[in-house]
Amino acid sequence: MKKDPSLALLNAADNLGYEARSASGDHTALKLWLRMLACTTQIEDEIRRRLRVRFDTSLPRFDYMAQLYRKPEGLRMKELTRYLMVTGANITGLTDELERDGMVERISSATDRRSWIVHLTTKGRTQFESMAAEHEGWILELFSCFDAKTLNQIYTQLGALRVHQVAQADTSTPAKE
């Protein structure tokens, strides 16, 4: 009798990482959470490593440039803070580094002299396009163990989970008076 290769993968995965610490009687949702966390961490670590080795850059710098790439008109530093979910000090530090490297420029806002609008320079746009193309290839490679149908199913199911979480958060937030 031929062994199911997916069963062998599942057995191998059960001996890895956080989920290996769960007991057989633990709820599947708990084991799924631990497995999702382990996969996310593992993929993020690999992307960080590849960005560092290939482009001598960090994931926060890549994410920062991605936000600016999507907004050619630029973003206020406060907006970058919100989009990247980091502190203003982190944004200032990244902006200083990227400006020093010729990747971004700060322009004072015409409507608010206290704020700056940050844009990618031509050099920054070109560098980001190169990084983004390789990044996309890396993601495709890291998820290549799934066929297109499986990827779509996982994407759909995680979308349902997100919708559920948003609904849960909306019902658990006390109303403001």
Count Cα atoms within 13 angstroms, Cβ side, for 65: 27
Q: Which two tokens stand for residue 92?
A: 């200032």
Q: For residue 68, what are the contacts with CB-CB under 8 A and spacing of at least 6?
A: 74, 75, 80, 104, 118, 119, 120, 124, 128
Domain boundaries, the chain: 27-168
Of 12 and 109, the structure prediction assigns the larger pLDDT to: 109
Whether the pLDDT of residue 53 is over 80: the answer is yes
pLDDT tens across 40-51, in order?
999 999 999 999
Instruction: Locate all alpha helices (DSSP H) within the chain, ordered by sequence.
Output: 5-13, 28-55, 59-70, 77-84, 88-100, 122-142, 148-172
The tokens of 123 are what?
A: 């050099």
Lowest mean pLDDT among 34-38, 83-87, 93-97: 83-87
Average pLDDT over residues 112-117: 84
- Name the burial class of residue 128, with classes exposed (0-12), middle (13-18) and buried (19+) by CB atoms within 10 angstroms of its CB: buried
- CA pair distance 10, 146, nearest whole angstrom: 14
Q: What percent of the chain has pLDDT over 90?
A: 63
Residue 149 has pLDDT above 60, yes or no: yes
**CATH 1.10.10.10 holds for 27-168:** yes
Q: Kindly tell me if the per-residue pLDDT of 173 is higher than 90.
A: no
Taking a C-beta distance cutoff of 8 angstroms, is the pair 120, 69 a contact?
Answer: yes
